[in-house]
């Protein structure tokens, strides 16, 4: 299933700007337009468009399928054994506490 229309994915990378003539941060914007994706690459320093292309959007795998598989795997594992209530609890010992006394 494709992303919703109007969705914009923005990434930055270091690359060579042919207008500036130096290595600069290049901004890549991928605009989702139905079944198409418009990719625009611009220089963040001079704000010039270096590349603008249009292509077919790739279908993404739904993330919900991976979550369902993880839940099913967890459900099939044996539940942890609970401590039996009939087991005698440890006898409680009186711990010696050091009490601070107020100076008189």
Supply the pLDDT for residue 90. 62
Q: What is residue 78's predicted lDDT score, i.e. its pLDDT?
A: 47
In the block, which residue shows the tokens 């609890």? 89
Residue 38 CB neighbours (<10 A): 14
Residues of the chain falling short of pLDDT 70 = 1-5, 60-100, 104
Residue ranges covered by each domain of the chain: 8-56
Predicted local confidence at residue 27, as pLDDT: 94
Longest dimension (CA), the chain: 86
pTM of the complete model: 0.51
Q: Please give the pLDDT value at position 1.
A: 44
């Amino acid at each position: 299933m494709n992303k919703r229309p109007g969705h914009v994915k923005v990434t930055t990378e270091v690359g060579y700007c042919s207008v500036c003539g130096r290595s600069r941060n290049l901004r890549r914007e991928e605009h989702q337009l139905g079944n198409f994706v418009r990719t625009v690459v611009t220089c963040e320093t001079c704000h010039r468009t270096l590349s603008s292309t249009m292509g077919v959007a790739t279908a993404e795998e739904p993330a919900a399928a991976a979550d369902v598989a993880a839940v099913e795997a967890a459900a099939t594992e044996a539940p942890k054994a609970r401590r039996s209530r009939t087991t005698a609890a440890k006898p409680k010992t009186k711990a010696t506490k050091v009490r601070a006394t107020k100076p008189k």
